[in-house]
Structure 1
Amino acid sequence: MKPNILFLLFFLTVNLFYSQTATIRGIVLDNSNMPIENVSVIVSEKGVKTNSNGFYKVIVPANKDVTLHFTHISFEEIVLSVQLENGEDMEFNPIMETQIKQIGEVVVSSKNKKTVEGIQNIDPEIVRTIPGANAGVENILKSLPGVNSNNELSTQYAVRGGNYDENLVYVNEFEIYRPFLVRSGQQEGMSFINTDLIQDIDFSAGGFQAKYGDKLSSVLDVTYRTPSELMGGVDISLLGGSAYLGTTSKNKRFTTLSGVRYRNNSLLVNSKDTETNYNPIFADAQTFLTYRLSGKFQLHFLGNLSLNEYDYQPETRQTTFGTIDDPVSVRVDYRGNEEDSYKTTFGALKGVYQVNQNTSLKFIGSLYHTKEKEYYNIAGRYSMGEIDTVMGGLVEEYQNIGRQYEYANNKLNATIFNIQHKGFYEKENTTIEWGIKYTLENFKDHLKEYETVDTVTVDTVDLNSPYNWNIPPLHALKADNNVTNNRLMGFMQWSRYVFLGENKVWLNAGIRGHFWNVSGDSIDSNSQFVVSPRMQVAIKPNWKKDMLFRLAGGLYQQPPFYREMRDSTGHVNPFVKAQKSYHIVLGHDYSFKLWDRPFKLTSEAYYKYLNDVNPYTLENVRIRYEAANNAVAYAYGLDFRLNGEFVPGTQSWFSFGYLKTEENIDNRGYIPRPTDQRLKFAVLFQDYIPSIPNVKLYLNGVYNTGLPGGSPDYADPYDYQLRLPDYKRMDVGINYILLDRKQKVKNSNWNNKFEEIHVGFEIFNIFDVQNSITNTWVDDYYTNTQYAIPNYMTGRIFNIKAGLKF
């Protein structure tokens, strides 16, 4: 027996000696500190691949020299040689450099996932270069099918028949909010999203997953950059300027990215037909910080401070309208001014913990506060005269026809607090995601405003004493609201890739739950709960032609936000229900080559049936709800976009959309909704001079058929169904790159310190089309005629700009 025992002990000792191991784990990152998926980590001819979070884990022999190879088709190889002790757990987070050589057709898995999900990915460089009166992400969205806006001064947009309040916006998974009292585009200032800081942009126009949220129309999901080295830039133009700076610590664990912006819309507002003293101040500062405590845990912080001051003193306005045979000129003389202020602060913190190769957990908190003031006290006198076309378009005599007085003193303070947990589990071809979120909203709102309109029968109108007119107000509202809303939301969704024969199929199913309780001064407390199931299916047939088919649908419910509970008199109805949309989307992608260059045709057909609809009116960008679920509605349409390299090395696209949306209020019959934008054509085109490739041309054009909205304010929509004229606009930009990274010389000249230096000019509304956003209605006592005076948007404007990056 002794020999057998000795043999067994010897065998166990040898086996233990040779089975000694160590562990190497970490996250593989790119130059922007973003995780890289599908990196091969090979050791001793065996290996693993990083998951969608860039995480990997390998077991290696202990007490031996081992070599790890990190390879990816789009990045340069990294080699690590190391010797570890038995049981040692080493963390290694490599940063891979992009391949310098030109790569042909590369399939990136994360991009494929977005495609099957119906997500449109937008290149941030396009956002930073394409011209627009309000350049930025929203400017590019308006060139996509299904996204509509008839206001170049506003960053707000409507998607597939929805309104401005039906769009979700996220920056690094933090939900973003807009000011609440803004009523016109020229008051808005800037979008929250700082173009200089963007790393990635995803957009869905409908049929999105359960994880995104409880809105009816769209999702915009933006990711900010994480610097891997010192970087920065400055841009200036006649409309304002911006600057940003990115830094990183020596060990790459701590990074900062900060930006400041200033904008002045005087150049745009002064091109309108109203002469004004206009002194706006739109400025903000943002910072995005990341700290990687270890290969498993990292922190992200996003902070924003925004100041919008709007001082507006109209003096006179002269508008010409009518027909060629019977042109009419209206002159308006003003007294008074408008002073608005919107001050917002936002802070958010996110912790990401990588439990293992398959599981990651996120913990998110944010606080948003806005303090808004709207004050105006403006009197106007309307005079009308006939234009003498024989005398060169002169007006012989103006005759007083009306007067108007507008007053408002509104104040709003709002605080929104969010705390959230999200989880992600992935194994093989299956993914499970979940989340729970608590939100506390508090709104303190003081409203006082009224408007008087009168037809005058005398030639003298005293604009200096509008209080003595003794005219009954056309409308008036006065309210004080203090409302608190507690919300508890949660979601869970499942996704899986499978094969059906030789065809690849992607499945997704999810469900959301939303509970909210409304309470406040002088209102009854009320609680409600809704559930929203959703699904997506995509199939990629094994065909010679590269095609993908998508089907998405579900029940989308939007519990009311504060503004949706406030009716046209300013009072809050806590019993407003969630608006419901039964939504189905059928999509098709066709990728092909033309002129030996890549192109893609994306097509989507959609249908929505909505009930418990909360009707509203739309005036410029201000939405006034009825705060009652007394309507049903529908929307359907077709969207097409063809994008590709029409010019080698550049991305351009052409968009077409058809939409019809109508509502039935109180069973009175179907009429067009305020966002019934029937036809839309858009083009975004980039080009350059072949002999001078550093001279680049950009075109951004859109044609939208007219929206409903030409009716008098507070008119019954069933009595007035007038449409505004079609919206037509083309913006052109020319940019000359004085220096880019390819032109750096070996000598230590000053220009080696810069990545790019550029100058350029832009022409907004190059054809000087007079687009109108609303009508002002006045009565002519002498002719017993009611006139709709169009409120025109901006005319042709020239802008110059310059910038540099390092």
Structure 2
Amino acid sequence: MRTVYKLLIVSLFFLSCSVFSQKARVKGILLDEFNKPIAGATIKAEAETVNSNENGFFLIAIPSGKKVTIEISHVSYKKSTVVVELKPNEDYELNVVLNQSAEQIGEVVVSSAGRKRVEGITVIEPQVIRMIPGANAGVENILKTLPGVYSNNELSTQYAVRGGNYDENLVYVNEIEVYRPFLIRSGQQEGLSFTNTEMVSNVDFSAGGFQSKYGDKLSSVLDITYRRPTKFQAALDASLLGGSATVDLVSKNQKWSNITGIRYRNNSLLVNSQETESNFKPSFADIQTQLTFDASTKWQWSFLGNISQNKYHYQPLSRQTNFGTVDDPIALQIFYEGQEKDEYLTLFGAVKSVYQANDNFKLKFIGSTYHTQEQEYFDILAQYRLGEIDTNIGSDTFGDVVFSRGVGSQLTHARNDLDALIVNAEVKGFHEIKEKNSQVEWGFKYTREDIRDRVVEWEVIDSAGFSLPNPVIDIPNDQPYNPYYGPLSPYKNVRATNFIKINRFSGYAQWNYRGSLGANQIWINAGARAHQWQVTGAPTEGKSQVVFSPRAQFALKPDWEKDMVFRLSGGLYHQPPFYRELRDYDGVVQPNVKAQQSIHIVASNDYSFKMWNRPFKLVSEAYYKNLTDVNTYTIDNVRIRYRANNDATAYVYGADFRLNGEFVPGTESWFSFGYLKTEENQNDRGYIARPTDQRLKFGLLFQDYMPNIPNLKMYLNLVYNTGLPGGSPSYADPYQYQLRLRDYRRADAGFSYVFKDATISSNRNWLKHFKEFSLGLEIYNLFNNQNAITNTWVRDVYTKSQYGIPNYMTTRTFNVKLNVRL
């Protein structure tokens, strides 16, 4: 009897092995005619059916040992059919390019590109990001050409959107939220953006009215997806500003894939073009890796890791800035002693798992850890001289200061240390309800922030032999006419130690629906977010706070001959305070700072048309924001200092326009224009301009090539912004000073000779191993415009006046760039 049982077990074992061995797998990536991934396509093989993901990737199990017909279909493309016959356990790679159906009309709402169109998302092609020149080339460089996105600092990757500040923008990589360093105060110190351009497959950007699934910020969402390799390839970029190397690896059975990038950057070329002479020794480097594993046809795992180290060593030597008028030229001369040493070490790791339970249900699990150690040490003595310039051309001292109107000195000191650990755990669900043309999405997230911060920072200013007291101390001071009896204190003195912990719970749920209204197509999204947090460890225990944020979007595509989509979106948006928003002017954490609240309304029109028999699109948007519990702030370069008291209300309104298309056949270019107005009211004192009240914006991104020499290509990146408030002293009452900086005008041009790429072939033997090879020249600040980021305020004893001397950014600079793809 036992022998029978043994034989039965053995038979069942071999039978099960035989059953499993009859399976094979087909995987690949679906692309359209423009090499863009196709998401949401249906892949069917006998009884099995799967869908391609956002990267166009699919994996399907089929029977082995017989011919199987695989059907690939999508409502926006022609159906494709492939017949394969595979061996047991064989993995077969099938990459298919789908062509659009010529007879298809108006399928905007249901296609992948149409989904982003009705959601108001701007899609940026990675190829455009790689090629367009800029002092900080990358994703952020392209964003600054879009309407509603503002920046007046080419050395910084930070940007403001529709009246918000740098801290109000969400950034995701592979659905994982990424963070920026805390102590950065100058664009020169930022080094590298987190996003590695060479690893990017998709970039989506929304400037407002975004869905509930995105986090709790007030202004914008930048959603970046890294590509998943399908074969081995390598890339190398090198220039006078640094370089990068990227490698794609894939296992033979296609289960494992990895993409790794290493970058290095040195800003000396740009810093040396500024007025301040210095010894600048920066070192900005990072390494990123993405590892993906297909455990089965239903389960996928991935890991994203990043190690970044920025060492910013700066030793200013001297500076001379000429200003004034032709009849009365004045110069500011400064001689420096001392140096600044800043270091930032960032470690980031995230694990993501996607489980496709069935065709209609998907689960995602995401865990991430962000650890940053930052130090900011400097002791710099600046001795200045304000005087008249010798304008006599034949003089030996022509251009020098020959008569002093004022002298003084400034000593700044800092010993700032910060250690922050942020841990996230998140689960997301996606349900497809095909019979009702709708989807349900939900998510829940836990975040713990552990921050240790020590601030020791002071500044002493001597003007014409008199020490300037702290402007916050309200004691009359009319030196030298009467003695000053106030306390002897530095002009600025910030000392604080903050060891705090913040626990956050957040979640969302939303519903998507597509259907018809008569002959018209409609798309609806409705959802809500909730966020609870509490600050502990501060001098006073923070109370538990909860906010609730309902949001909705509606899109209508009329049954017209013209291809138009109308959108209306909005809702209630909250931004629970992050660590920087909790820290007041004195560096002390205020644990009960409320979440800033904003009501968004965005109305837009998307018009696709053909001009010169080429595709074009005009997007027009009007928006309004009403903000309460506003946490007011000041901006010095890129450093934001909050008052942490929720003492204001504010509003923003404006309009954005963007026309993009093939102005030159085969290339994408765009023109953008924006207008906004934003004001705040602090403690009912009346409305004044906010620090981000940058009224007009014009951006141009243009690509061209020579018809007779197609190898020679040209790229132009042009931005014009009207001046920001911020020309007044940092200590000034904003209600008494509403000075503005100069208009920001900048054009960066690039010229590239392409020896070989996907469209240009070459018979040269040395190029046969390369897929792409190009050499280029870039010119930053083509027209050599003088753009100022802040003003330095100096007193003139002779005229009893105070001058605001602009702190200019970079001048015209040349760069050489090499791009190689294997």
TM-score, with length taken from structure 2 = 0.89
Contact 1:334 / 1:378 at 8 angstroms: preserved in 2?
yes
* Local SS of the residue matching 1:526: coil
- 2:591 aligned with 1:591, yes or no? no
How far off its partner does 1:50 sit? 3.3
Q: Which residue of 1 aligns with 2:41?
A: 38
Listed one character per residue, the Cα deviations across residues 256-284 of structure 1 (whole Å, up to 9, x for unaligned) are 10000000000100101000011000000
- 2:430 aligned with 1:413, yes or no? no
Q: Which residue of 2 aligns with 1:623?
A: 640
1:643-682 equivalences in 2 (<5 Å): 643-682=660-699
* Local SS of the residue matching 1:29: strand
1:686 pairs with one of 703, 715, 720: 703
RMSD: 2.8
Structure 1, unaligned stretches of length 5 or more?
A: 1-21, 459-469
Q: Which residue of 2 aligns with 1:789?
A: 805
Q: How far apart in 1 are the matches of 2:701 and 2:760?
A: 28
Q: How far apart in 2 are the matches of 1:62 and 1:724?
A: 70
Q: Which moved more, 1:321-330 or 1:150-159?
A: 321-330
Q: Which amino acid aligns with 1:29?
A: I
Contact 2:259 / 2:289 at 8 angstroms: preserved in 1?
yes
Q: How far apart in 2 are the matches of 1:430 and 1:23?
A: 33
1:433 pairs with one of 434, 437, 441: 441
- 2:565 aligned with 1:560, yes or no? no
Q: How far apart in 2 are the matches of 1:148 and 1:261?
A: 26
How far off its partner does 1:713 sit? 1.4
* Local SS of the residue matching 1:548: strand
Q: How far apart in 2 are the matches of 1:57 and 1:375?
A: 53
Q: Which moved more, 1:519-528 or 1:227-236?
A: 519-528
Q: Which residue of 2 aligns with 1:404?
A: 410
2:218 pairs with one of 216, 219, 230: 216
- 2:729 aligned with 1:704, yes or no? no
Contact 2:30 / 2:57 at 8 angstroms: preserved in 1?
no
How far off its partner does 1:753 sit? 1.6
Q: Which moved more, 1:25-34 or 1:588-597?
A: 25-34
Q: How far apart in 2 are the matches of 1:786 and 1:413?
A: 40
Q: Which residue of 1 aligns with 2:82?
A: 79
Q: Which amino acid aligns with 1:439?
A: T
Q: Which amino acid aligns with 1:421?
A: V
* Local SS of the residue matching 1:478: strand
Listed one character per residue, the Cα deviations across residues 579-604 of structure 1 (whole Å, up to 9, x for unaligned) are 00000000100111000000000000
Q: How far apart in 2 are the matches of 1:509 and 1:146?
A: 24
- 2:497 aligned with 1:495, yes or no? no
Q: Which residue of 1 aligns with 2:478?
A: none
Q: How far apart in 2 are the matches of 1:565 and 1:657?
A: 32
Q: Which residue of 2 aligns with 1:17?
A: none
Q: How far apart in 2 are the matches of 1:70 and 1:52?
A: 13
Q: Which residue of 2 aligns with 1:50?
A: 51
Listed one character per residue, the Cα deviations across residues 349-393 of structure 1 (whole Å, up to 9, x for unaligned) are 000000000111000000000000001101111112222434375
Q: How far apart in 2 are the matches of 1:93 and 1:368?
A: 38
Q: How far apart in 2 are the matches of 1:297 and 1:59?
A: 13
Q: Which residue of 1 aligns with 2:428?
A: 422
Q: How far apart in 1 are the matches of 2:265 and 2:342?
A: 16
* Local SS of the residue matching 1:753: coil
Q: Which residue of 1 aligns with 2:4?
A: none
Distance 1:322 1:105, change over 3 A: farther
Q: Which residue of 2 aligns with 1:135?
A: 137
Q: Which amino acid aligns with 1:686?
A: Q
Q: Which amino acid aligns with 1:415?
A: L
Q: How far apart in 1 are the matches of 2:251 and 2:168?
A: 40
Distance 1:779 1:59, change over 3 A: closer
Q: Which residue of 2 aligns with 1:769?
A: 785
How far off its partner does 1:27 sit? 6.6
Contact 2:363 / 2:429 at 8 angstroms: preserved in 1?
yes
Distance 1:611 1:160, change over 3 A: same
How far off its partner does 1:94 sit? 5.4
Q: How far apart in 1 are the matches of 2:325 and 2:234?
A: 53
1:688-767 equivalences in 2 (<5 Å): 688-742=705-759, 744=761, 749-767=765-783
- 2:522 aligned with 1:505, yes or no? yes
Q: How far apart in 1 are the matches of 2:181 and 2:556?
A: 41
How far off its partner does 1:166 sit? 0.3
Contact 1:186 / 1:265 at 8 angstroms: preserved in 2?
yes
1:257 pairs with one of 243, 251, 259: 259
Listed one character per residue, the Cα deviations across residues 501-521 of structure 1 (whole Å, up to 9, x for unaligned) are 010000000100001011014
* Local SS of the residue matching 2:580: helix
Q: How far apart in 1 are the matches of 2:821 and 2:362?
A: 35
Distance 1:425 1:408, change over 3 A: same
Contact 1:583 / 1:608 at 8 angstroms: preserved in 2?
yes
Contact 2:45 / 2:68 at 8 angstroms: preserved in 1?
no
1:248 pairs with one of 231, 247, 250: 250
Percent of residue pairs bearing the same amino acid type? 56
Q: Which amino acid aligns with 1:528?
A: Q
2:400 pairs with one of 395, 414, 418: 395
- 2:464 aligned with 1:456, yes or no? yes
Contact 2:158 / 2:166 at 8 angstroms: preserved in 1?
yes
Q: Which residue of 2 aligns with 1:801?
A: 817
Q: How far apart in 2 are the matches of 1:786 and 1:490?
A: 52
* Local SS of the residue matching 1:342: strand
Q: Which residue of 1 aligns with 2:281?
A: 279
Q: Which residue of 2 aligns with 1:326?
A: 328
Listed one character per residue, the Cα deviations across residues 740-783 of structure 1 (whole Å, up to 9, x for unaligned) are 24555799x44222101110101100111110000011112232
How far off its partner does 1:323 sit? 2.3
Q: Which amino acid aligns with 1:296?
A: K
Q: How far apart in 1 are the matches of 2:529 and 2:38?
A: 28
Listed one character per residue, the Cα deviations across residues 213-237 of structure 1 (whole Å, up to 9, x for unaligned) are 1000000000001111101111111
Contact 1:583 / 1:607 at 8 angstroms: preserved in 2?
yes
Q: Which amino acid aligns with 2:787?
A: N
1:337 pairs with one of 320, 336, 339: 339
Q: Which residue of 2 aligns with 1:9?
A: none
Distance 1:510 1:622, change over 3 A: same
Q: How far apart in 1 are the matches of 2:574 and 2:335?
A: 47
Q: How far apart in 2 are the matches of 1:254 and 1:58?
A: 16
Q: Which amino acid aligns with 1:646?
A: F
Contact 2:354 / 2:362 at 8 angstroms: preserved in 1?
yes
Q: Which amino acid aligns with 2:656?
A: D
* Local SS of the residue matching 2:97: coil
How far off its partner does 1:56 sit? 8.7
Q: How far apart in 2 are the matches of 1:387 and 1:652?
A: 46
Q: Which amino acid aligns with 1:422?
A: K
* Local SS of the residue matching 1:125: helix
Distance 1:28 1:473, change over 3 A: same
Contact 2:571 / 2:601 at 8 angstroms: preserved in 1?
yes
1:578 pairs with one of 574, 595, 616: 595
Q: Which residue of 2 aligns with 1:484?
A: 501
Q: Which residue of 1 aligns with 2:350?
A: 348
Listed one character per residue, the Cα deviations across residues 153-178 of structure 1 (whole Å, up to 9, x for unaligned) are 00000000000000000000110000
Listed one character per residue, the Cα deviations across residues 41-96 of structure 1 (whole Å, up to 9, x for unaligned) are 376xx997836667999999999865333356869945244699xxx9x9988532
How far off its partner does 1:403 sit? 1.3
Q: Which amino acid aligns with 2:782?
A: I
Q: How far apart in 1 are the matches of 2:488 and 2:712?
A: 60
Distance 1:788 1:103, change over 3 A: farther
Q: How far apart in 2 are the matches of 1:744 and 1:253?
A: 33
How many aligned positions are there?
Answer: 767
Contact 1:688 / 1:697 at 8 angstroms: preserved in 2?
yes
Contact 1:33 / 1:226 at 8 angstroms: preserved in 2?
no
Contact 2:293 / 2:301 at 8 angstroms: preserved in 1?
yes
Listed one character per residue, the Cα deviations across residues 592-651 of structure 1 (whole Å, up to 9, x for unaligned) are 100000000000000000000000001100000001111000000000000000000000
* Local SS of the residue matching 1:267: helix
Q: How far apart in 2 are the matches of 1:302 and 1:699?
A: 33
Q: Which amino acid aligns with 1:765?
A: N
Contact 2:132 / 2:716 at 8 angstroms: preserved in 1?
yes
